[in-house]
Amino acid sequence: MLELTSTDTDGRRPLEPVGGRVGVYVCGVTPYDTTHVGHLFTFASFDVLIRYLRYRGHAVTYVQNVTDVDDDMMRKAKELGTTWTALADDQVGQLVRDLQALNIALPDHFPKASEQIEGIQTMVEALVRQGRAYAANGNVYYDVRADTTFGPPSDLPDYAAMLAVANERGNTPGDPNKRDPLDFVLWQQSAPGEPWWESPWGPGRPGWHIECSAMAYRYLGPTVDIHGGGSDLIFPHHACERVQSERFTGVRPFVRFWLHAGMVRLAGEKMSKSLGNLILARNLVEEYPPNAIRLALANHHYREAWDWEDADLPTMQEWDRVFAEALLTRPGGATPLAGVPAFQERILAAFDGDMNSSAAIQRLLDLARAVLAAPAGTDVGGAQRALRDLTGVLGLRYPETATASR
């Protein structure tokens, strides 16, 4: 059985879906031309997890949002002399092409925040009614000081630590409308030229955190089995999401497993737009074959922070070649290759152990090499079917003809 480690608890726990389906929510992109290898690592890691859940017979509902109402969107659209909607459409189109090129399955629901305003307003209104949030001059804020449950899934020890991290990540502590510097915005007045919607607090637009709470609730209900995103979203984004969702629904927990993908660095530094060291998704897709990119990503545990190295790619291409050859080889015969169930078991054990995809790759290579080393007169059909299915869990694609003659 699959065991996972949630960010907010120690140790692994088995994933036992409560309902008939496993609900997965992954925070998606702000579509303004910065989708980089770090995003791909997040989306590819969750793609492997979802493929594995489906391989194990689970029905999965996968939701990934598009943050199209956001400060960065407005700024970039202005710079380009275009509208934020045109920018979003263009960039989401590019993202979909990149994901498809890498065989990263698209989510079942791919909602844009701008299309979810009603659900967002319902949530904000309820939080104000409960006394959890307050309106001030056309803005609405969550009252953090009054809520002792604020903080998880982050493990930040106290208020000062939370404020320091929030300030690094876009908080506006000096906003005179706030009761407390750590209060976060649920609804805000739009600046001139920005999109706006009518609301009980005046024309405005939603804050970022409430967008994800509303979309998760709409598509997955009050409890999400697995909530993912990059590790830079743990605080404040996911702490804000969790607290407001649990207050709104009255149901705990909002999330059964928080899974956070590690940051991908370049030469030891975090990739960021400001440092100018982004490896953009579309450039990567143009440069390397998709299977090699998928192997380079899956060769790191989802929680690991790691350095992207172009120098790793030849090895990935070599592994890809081993899989392709093993799926094509035809020793021909009646004696089944020995030990296939044991190979399979070891591969599944790697996935079951908190999605250890790099170990799974090595065990898949063991199976592929055993197929290639099979003497004439061996039936490798069963081994090839296992290899095809389980390389498929990693998102690798090989021509169908390879095992079709079985």
Chain positions contacting Zn ion, by CB under 5 A: 27, 212
CB of 28 to Zn ion, least distance (A): 8
Q: Is 117 helix (H, G, I), strand (E, B) or coil?
A: helix
Nearest CB to Zn ion, comparing residues 234 and 350 = 234
Nearest CB to Zn ion, comparing residues 212 and 214 = 212
CB of 211 to Zn ion, least distance (A): 7
Nearest CB to Zn ion, comparing residues 27 and 127 = 27
Distance linking the first and last C-alpha atoms of the chain: 30
- Token pair recorded at residue 89: 């459409």
CB of 188 to Zn ion, least distance (A): 17
CB of 233 to Zn ion, least distance (A): 6
d(C-alpha 105, C-alpha 65), whole Å: 14
CB of 27 to Zn ion, least distance (A): 3
Nearest CB to Zn ion, comparing residues 241 and 352 = 241
Please say whether the beta carbons of 319 and 364 come within 8 A: no
Q: Hunting for tokens 């705990």 — which residue is that?
A: 252
φ, ψ at 323 (rounded to 5°) = -65, -45
Nearest CB to Zn ion, comparing residues 212 and 297 = 212
Dump the DSSP string for 274-323.
Answer: TTT---BHHHHHHHS-HHHHHHHHHTS-TT--EE--GGGHHHHHHHHHHH
CB of 9 to Zn ion, least distance (A): 20
Q: How far is CA 179 from CA 131, 139, 152, in A?
A: 13, 12, 22
Gyration radius from the chain CA atoms: 23
d(C-alpha 146, C-alpha 256), whole Å: 25
CB of 82 to Zn ion, least distance (A): 25
Please say whether the beta carbons of 84 and 130 come within 8 A: no
Nearest CB to Zn ion, comparing residues 113 and 361 = 113
- Token pair recorded at residue 84: 């934020």
Nearest CB to Zn ion, comparing residues 140 and 212 = 212
